[in-house]
Amino acid sequence: GVGTLSPRVAWQQGLVSNLLNPKMVAFFPSLLPQFAGGADGALLTLFVFGLVFCVITLGWLVAYTVVLAKLGVAVGRSNLWRLVEGVTGAVLIGFGLRLALERR
């Protein structure tokens, strides 16, 4: 079966995953400074942008977690999981076939 993580371990794993994510290291320095304006207050503006990003991300991840938790309960009670796996597998096979048959 699937093991259950304690909330502390799950939080630690998520934190490490986000801190080591190279996309964020590239995203913030390359995209946000163009919106910061001049030298006056640029650091504060970047801080506010970062804070807004964190709040939006937190809201998204909380909503995502709640929905997946509810789906997990529903899937655990039915054959829905087999259907989801079958549809996902068929879509991936279709993508693979399309890629294999594509002319260059």
* Whether 41 contacts 31, CB under 8 Å: no
pLDDT bracket for residue 101 (50, 70, 90): very high
Domain assignment of residue 57, yes or no:
yes
Residue type, 73: V
Report which DSSP code applies to 103: -
CA nearest 71: which of 61, 81, 59, 86? 81
Instruction: Please state the pTM of the whole predicted model.
Output: 0.54
Number of Cβ within 10 Å of residue 42's Cβ equals 14
pLDDT score at 1: 45
Q: Is residue 84 part of a domain?
A: yes
Q: Is residue 2 part of a domain?
A: no
Cα 64 to the center of its chain, rounded Å: 9
| Domain interval for residue 66 | 7-101
Confidence category of residue 2, pLDDT binned at 50, 70, 90: low
Q: When comparing pLDDT for 24 and 93, which is higher?
A: 93
Q: What is the pLDDT of residue 54?
A: 86
Measured between alpha carbons, how far is 32 from 52 in angstroms, rounded to an integer? 12
Specify if 18 maps to a domain: yes
Q: Average pLDDT of 29-53? A: 81
Q: How many domains does the chain have?
A: 1
The identity of residue 41, as a single letter, is: G
Quick: pLDDT tens for 51-85. Answer: 898 899 889 988 988 888 887 777 766 777 788 88
* Domain assignment of residue 1, yes or no: no
Identify residue 47 by its one-letter amino acid code.
F
Q: Is 55 part of a structural domain of the chain?
A: yes
